[in-house]
Amino acid sequence: MYLIVGLGNPGKQYENTRHNIGFDAVDYFAKKNNLSFDKTKFDGLYAQGIINSKKVILLKPQTFMNLSGDSVRPFADYFDIPTENILILHDDIEFDVGVIKIRKKGSGGTHNGMKDIVLKLDSTDFPRVRIGVGNDKKMELYSYVLGHIPQEERKVLDEVVVKCSSVIDEYLTNGIDSAMNLYNEKKKKKEKPAEDKKPAEGEVEVKQE
C-alpha cells in the first residue's frame, strides 16, 4: 500500500495560499482518479482506491501544517505502510514558482511540516515532491506562504499541479527513481568563456598583446 500526502492548512481562509499547494496537488490527483476525500481518520481527510494496480491512500492532514506528522504517522502505522511508500508533496520557498524537485529522501529542511513528519516517523527515508513557490525577501515568511496567490502565479502553479499528478503516476508505476529521472529539471552546463576555448582543428590561435 502507498500513502500519498499533500500538506496544507485546513479552513477556507487558507485556500489558494502558497502553503496549501500540497493540498491542491492531491485534490487534482484524486479528481483525476474519481476519488473523493470523504473519509476521516487520525486527524486527516483521506481517499482510498486502486490506482495503477496499487492500493493507494491520499491524505490531507487536518492538524495544521506544523503538526502534520501527528496524522501521517498513525496512518502509516495503522495501514502498515513502509516509509519508502510514503510520498509527501509540499511547498518550497527554495525554488522559483513553478519548479518542482523530487527527492528520494532527506531532512525536513526549513519546512515545519516536513520537519514534524521526519520527527514523528523517526526517519528521513521517504520520497517527497518539493513544489517551488518562490520567496519575497521583503515580506515576513509566514505572511508570504500564507498569502493568497496572485492570478498570474496561480496559472503557473495550476500547471505544476497537473505535472505533479504525472509525477505521482510515474512513482506508483515505475518507482521514485524513474520519476526523478523524468521530472527533475536538469542543470544546464555553463559554457566556458570564449577566451578559455581552445581553437578548433585548422584554426590558428591569435594572442592579444
Euclidean distance between CA atoms 199 and 209, whole angstroms: 18
Which of 37-41, 116-120, 126-130, 190-194 shows the lowest per-residue confidence on average (mean pLDDT)? 190-194
Predicted pLDDT of residue 192: 53
Indicate whether 202 pLDDT > 60.
no
Percentage of residues in the chain having pLDDT higher than 70 = 89
- For cell 590558428, the residue is 204
Question: Average pLDDT, stretch 146-151?
Answer: 95
- Catalytic residue, chosen from 19, 90, 111, 148, is 19
* CA atoms of 187 and 88, how far apart (whole Å): 23
99 alpha-carbon distance from chain centroid? 10
User: Using 50, 70 and 90 to split pLDDT, how confident is the model at 144?
Assistant: very high
Reported as a single tens digit per residue, the pLDDT across 75-92 is 999 999 999 999 999 999
Residue identified by cell 517527497 is 128
| Better-scored residue on pLDDT, 54 or 204 | 54
Q: 43: Cβ–Cβ under 8 A, 6 or more apart, which residues?
A: 61, 62, 63, 70, 71, 74
Summarised one tens digit per residue, pLDDT across range 33-46 is 999 999 999 999 99
pLDDT (0 to 100) of residue 193? 55
Give the separation between CA 59 and CA 24, rounded to whole angstroms. Answer: 12
For residue 185, the model assigns a pLDDT of: 79
pLDDT at 207: 46
Q: How confident is the model at residue 9 (pLDDT cuts 50, 70, 90)?
A: very high
Given a cut of 90, whether residue 14 has pLDDT beyond it is yes
Report how far apart, in Å, the C-alpha atoms of 40 and of each of 62, 72, 93, 135, 161 are: 9, 13, 30, 33, 24
Residue 181's pLDDT is what? Answer: 97
Q: Is 19 a catalytic residue?
A: yes
When pLDDT is averaged across residues 48-66 and rounded to a whole number, the result is 97
Position 206 scores a pLDDT of 46
What are the structural domains, with CATH classification, of the chain?
2-185 (3.40.50.1470)
> Cell 526517519 appears where?
123
Q: CB under 8 Å to 94, separation ≥6 — which residues?
A: 109, 110, 130, 132, 135
Q: Averaged over 91-108, what is the pLDDT?
A: 96
Does the pLDDT at position 205 exceed 60? Answer: no
CA angle 85-31-8, nearest 5°? 60
